[in-house]
Amino acid sequence: METEFGLTEYASGHEITPIPCLLKEMYTDFIVQEILDDGKVLSIPSPDVILESTGSKDVQIEESVEKPSCISDETLAAIEERFSTKGTPVLVKVDTLTKEERKSIHHFVRERFSGKLITETKDDGIYVSHGHTQSTRKRKNWDENIPKECHFTMCKENKETSYACQLIAKFLNIGPNNIKTHGIKDKRGVTAQRVSVTKVLESKILDLNSRLRGIKVFGCEYKNEPVKMGGHWGNRFSIVLRDLPNDSEPTLHERLETFQNTGFLNYFGTQRFGSRCSTTAEIGLAIAKRDWEGAVRMILSNAMPDHLENGQVGWAVKCFTETGDARKAFSKLKGAQAFATVEGQILKCLTRGGTWQKCITEAIPIQSRSLYVHAYQSLLWNKVASRRVKEYGTRVHESDVGADGKPLGEHSTHYDIHIALPGENSAFENSYGAKWISELLKEDGLTPASFTSLQDKFSLGESSRPLFVEAKELKWKFIHYEQPRAFLQDGLQTRAIPESEQKGPLLALQIQFSLSSGSYATVALREVTGYDMGKKSMRDASLKSQKGAEQNEEQEDKDDNELTEANPEVVEVVEVTEVAAVEEAN
């Protein structure tokens, strides 16, 4: 699978004998913690920690907030009663009040009652009610003294980043484009990343902890600017590779020491391209060609019910494919399927009369739709990177350029080599990378200018990428274990087995390192194991391992039966001994 996407070379300059292993066998085997631009590594809460949740029952009246003179004591008493129990909204007369006095009422209610009570201006005055009404849900009434962006940490386990964000947006009653992240994190794993939402109170975010499953939110902080794509330094990884050959420890140890010095080729990993019938790169090519219908149909085809895991979403897509009736297909989706899946967003757009282009450029959130174009760019970059290593080796060559597109100096290292990404880029236009990419684009009927008009709708960011990357703060240890699916790292809801139980016939490697933004841990692991770390390869390896374990169990049962038939007296002695031991223990 890796070779299909251009991953053919190694930083060592030669092929590596593959060492088979299992990656992401358990969700907790793959832990990703975002590293912010100030170097802070985001934490993942222990399974034993109960995160703060304000909860409406715990909200107290802020007595320190002074009552405006325009609110009578009688009106205040009525408002405080409404705070305690739901009922008819309290009317505050404002006929004779100035604009500033009316504004002070809104501010007072919001601050004194911690956002639990809502104010709404109507013809006859300001109404104070318990919670949102239909007309106040979409009204923005934000305190100008508070920065409008609320940043928080989102930890998730076995959840797509886009799905988790859509779910949070739905619960907060905000649009999906109102929630921002630094980037997409792996689904099959435990991840921590910063997220921002606009004009949402900290209390509302923390209250989500009582409603979310497999997702935790905490660490709120108000800021003036939202989280920006690629705005973090990178990620800290803690990964477990299972089911290693028992004789592989010395070889892996030697390779890890080499890896520490040479780094790895900075390929885009296979997860960038997906594992369905239509790859994200193929969809990205269709978008680059402005084949909007083709792109939509490829996205939907990936959800067809070839596998049970697609569930109702797959059947809804099948319905649309067979009937062309988007409304009928959309009606088959329930709850989060309708608003938190790409397929649901597309069907909803078509139901409302949207064009094929709008399905891509408006219905799908920008962080999701950008992945398709990025994937096509990534495929071309991988092919060019492999050609560079094949033709010039792993050392600095006179034709190489740096991040500014200029030739490298005499003291440069292989970590300074940069190759441009597809698109118009005057700084790199004379480099071999730009020339080779143009050749590949021409084969697909495109030019570098094909990406220029996509900039705004698809958030096409970086213009170049380093050819080699160093894994920083590298640590590793080997773990012996007995049960194939034993927890070897803590998760959001599970604890790893204690060190005293880390013994047995099975061998695993725990490896930890930090990578700069945009680099792939699976590609780094490929440099060490020489093994295809793609999803399909790992799934096949997992099934093979499970089948082997079942065969071993069957063989053990067969051996026991043969022993019983040949030596029944031995079994009788064993049984008597076990009974005696139990009686002695009791």
Is residue 202 within 8 A of residue 222, CB to CB? The reply is yes
Judge whether 186 counts as a catalytic residue: yes
Of 120, 566, 171, 124, the C-alpha closest to 336 is: 171
Catalytic residue among 29, 186, 243, 532: 186
Distance CA 444, CA 395 (A): 31
Q: How many Å separate Cα 303 from the centre of its chain?
A: 19
Sign of CA dihedral 433, 436, 439, 445: negative
CA 529 to chain centre: 24
CB 541 within 8 A of CB 548: no
Round to whole Å and give the CA distance between 549 and 140: 58
Helix (H, G, I), strand (E, B), or coil: what is residue 243?
strand
- CB 44 within 8 Å of CB 155: yes
Q: Which two tokens stand for residue 83?
A: 């705070």
Alpha helices, DSSP H, located in 23-132: 73-84, 99-112
- What phi and psi, each to the nearest 5 degrees, are found at residue 145? -80, -10
**Helices and strands: H and E segment counts in the chain:** 18, 16
* One-letter amino acid for residue 60 of the chain: Q
- Cα 350 from Cα 54, distance rounded (Å): 39
State the pairing for strand pair 190-198/30-35. Answer: parallel
Secondary structure (3-state) at 265: strand
State the Cα–Cα distance between residues 182 and 391, nearest whole angstrom.
Answer: 35
403: tokens are: 């991040």
- State the chain's maximal CA–CA distance in angstroms: 104
69, 106, 440 from 66: Cα distances, Å: 9, 13, 68
d(CA 285, CA 280): 9
Residue 21 near residue 531, CB atoms below 8 Å = yes
- CA distances, 44 to each of 187, 215, 291, 352 (Å): 16, 11, 42, 41
Q: What is the DSSP string of 237-275?
A: EEEEEEEE-TT-HHHHHHHHHHHHHH-EE-PPPGGGT-S
Q: For the chain, how big is the Rg over CA atoms in Å? A: 29
Catalytic residues: 186
